[in-house]
Structure 1
């Protein structure tokens, strides 16, 4: 495995249109982590939104049996573990934070994130890749006002942590396991925070270390936003961020 600088992202590969059936499908790879992100629409909304004119965006997340070793048991209907629930709620919140739900109309968008290979950062990869699938899906929909796109900004996510006493960006599994502090950061392309999840693993961290981790995350998300722009090309629905 190539040695990275502490402030360097893992190499990212994006393949749009990976499946034939889904209106939005992206195979998102960051080194040893691979996630298939698909997005689809249904002409319905949760009961509390009926008649409101607003749509809804939700997400589902799953790790396939051989995404890890040893084999992970499949999650059957009604038997979703706590980690899975927490991650898919995070993904859904991240997309809704930048959504213009009235512009969507009464439609339900589901973004499915299926982890094919896991080597750290599966939730952040799901958000970054899932956003691309979401945009592709939204571009196919009929909307109440075609000139009004249902997203106000882009979304990307990245991890950072204190590994061997040093702030490190985009942790793989080995680094995450060894980290004294582990953080996941979700931000918009415009540079606003959506969510920060930071935890000391049998350790504490200072104001200075927190600031260093947030600065690393901001740098990483700026790069990921550029990768998203390049992947979508002319389909990018926002002003280009230099």
Structure 2
């Protein structure tokens, strides 16, 4: 007990590792690390290092354990002898057996076992280095290993713990907080918020339990985001990347078009305002006079054109009359001679 800190949270709300009360430790994930397993995942969460592997679905032996209508999911949690400072006895223990049972049940609502009757799906979670929260870290790694193995699932499962130190609730306990804290509440839940695992060590009030569940829910949302990013990196294709790039390019083009249209609208608004200002500054009487003068000029021009056309037509008629006069005189002389006879 001599290494117990005097305070776990300072006056600024900062914990021993620099986190706030509602922050989780950094998490890194790598999938497909074991070639002989059907699915695998290596996860680091703070100082926790966990390796999960999935084998199956495959035939279950002995046959008396087979389930005719669904598959059997067997979950095995184990801590390596070298995972803690004081070497532990290798092999299963009462603690590891308990954690294996409750962790396996955490996947019951999501794994679609009806597709593999009489088969078995083995999930192995090996803790290589422990630093508090190993069961929740193993569940997060096992979820990705199941997806990597192609096991049909209704959704992902995420797990996180909340505890109480210095009379205050904190999310994702580290080792000193877990060893010397007042309570520990590990929880696993689906993306829909359904709780699939809940254990408690210590004493908490009903209000603290409800608040702790909400804090875990927020932490699991962050874990779901990390899991989905790992899945996209593992199974994302070049076509999906091209689709994402095209979507980003289309978004950029749409934003540029919006900027251009906004600029055009601003120019139109400026021109309309200038036209309105010019119309307001003009005198209505001057406008009427200018319109009347323009109409008068059009009428005068049209009258002059018509007058010129009339004069040309009259001149043509006179020329035709003059050209026909000699023929008229000869005809009158002939008519006179006939009269005298």
| TM-score category (smaller protein) | 0.7 to 0.9
Shift of 1:205: 2.1
More strand by share: 1
Using the size of structure 2 for normalisation, the TM-score is 0.61
* 1:169-184 superposed matches below 5 A: 169-184=171-186
Aligned length: 219
2:46 to 5, 10, 31: 31
Distance 1:16 1:207 in 2: 39
Note the C-alpha offset of 1:93: 0.7
Q: 5+ residue gaps in structure 2?
A: 1-15, 237-341
Structure-1-length-normalised TM-score: 0.85
How is 1:53-132 mapped onto 2 (pairs within 5 angstroms)? Answer: 53-75=69-91, 80-132=92-144
> Equivalents in 1 of 2:64, 2:102: separation in Å?
20
1:8-47 to structure 2, matched below 5 A, reads 8-45=23-60, 47=63
Across the aligned residues of Structure 1 and Structure 2, the Cα RMSD in angstroms comes to 1.9
Deviation at 1:35, TM superposition (A): 0.5
Structure in which a larger fraction of residues adopt helix: 2
Describe the superposition over 1:9-58 as per-residue Cα deviations: whole angstroms up to 9, x where unpaired: 10000011112211211111101101000111152236456472411211
Q: Provide runs of 4+ in structure 1 moved above 6 Å.
A: none
CA shift in 2, pair 1:72/1:51, >3 Å: closer
CA distance change for structure 1 residues 42 and 215 in 2, over 3 Å: closer, same or farther? closer
1:49-98 per-residue CA deviation (whole Å, 9 max, x = no partner) reads: 647241121111111111001112211xxxx2110001111221111221
Inter-partner Cα distance in structure 2 for 1:206 and 1:40: 41
Measure, in 2, the Cα distance between the counterparts of 1:212 and 1:178: 21
Please state whether the residue corresponding to 1:138 is helix, strand or coil. Answer: coil
State the structure with bigger RCO (CA 8 A, min sep 6), 1 or 2.
1
